[in-house]
Amino acid sequence: MSGRTGIFAGDDPFAIARDWLAEAEKTEPNDPNAIALSTVDADGLPNARMVLLKDIEEEAFVFYTNYGSSKAQEIEQAGKAAFVMHWKSLRRQVRVRGVVSREEGQQADDYYASRSLKSRLGAWASDQSQPLDSRATLMAKVAKITATHGPSPKRPPFWGGFRIVPLEIEFWADGAYRLHDRFTWRRTTPSGAWEINRLNP
C-alpha cells in the first residue's frame, strides 16, 4: 500500500496497535489503554462509555466488566461493539468495529487475580448500572463481601471478559492543516483477508 510507511508500516494491524499503545504508555499522563466503548440498546439507541482495554491479542481486543452491566447486556443482545482509543500526546487514534464473544476461562481468572484486593471485592459488591440509594450502602456491602469472601476471593460468575474480533480497524494520525493520515483495514468475516485503504482526511 503506497504511503503506508513509518508508524503505519506492517502487515499485522494488531502489532501496529500494540506498538502505538506501547508508545502511548510513555507519553500519556493517565490510562493510555482507555477506550471509548460504543454499543447499542434493543431500540438501536447508541451508548458510549470509557473502559480500560486489558489485552491486544493476536486477533482480538479484550476488556473486562460485570456481565449484568448495561454495556454487557447491549453487547450480548447485538453481538457487536465498537471503540476508539485516542492519545492526545501522540495525536493519534485507533478505531475498531467488530463481533464480540465472552472470555470466561483461565484468562479471565488470571486477570481477576491480578487486580488489587479492593478491586476484586468491589467487583463482587457492585450491581453495576443498577440504581444505588447511597455510597454508604455500597460501602456496607463491600464490608459484608470482605467478611464473606476473605482475602482471596474467586472471580464472580457475573464478571469476566469480552473479546472484540474486528471487522474494521482504522489507524489515524494528525496531519498539518488537518490533512490527516488515515488507513483502514477491513474484512467481511473474522477469518477473512484484510483489505487496506488510505482514506481522505
d(CA 186, CA 179): 22
CA atoms within 13 A on the CB side of 199: 14
Contact 38, 50 (CB under 8 A): no
Measured N-to-C along each axis, helices 117-125 and 135-149 cross at an angle, to the nearest 10 degrees, of 110
Cell numbers that stand for 64 in this block: 473486562
The torsion angle over the Cα atoms of residues 51, 28, 84 and 198, rounded to 10 degrees, is -160
Identify the helix (H) or strand (E) that includes residue 34: strand 34-40
Is there a catalytic annotation at residue 178? yes
In 3D space, the residue among 126, 109, 51 whose CA is nearest the CA of residue 82 turns out to be 51
Selected catalytic residue, list 49, 92, 102, 178: 178
d(CA 9, CA 1): 9
* Residue 7 Cα distances to 72, 163, 171, angstroms: 33, 25, 9
Identify the helix (H) or strand (E) that includes residue 111: helix 106-114
List the catalytic residues: 178
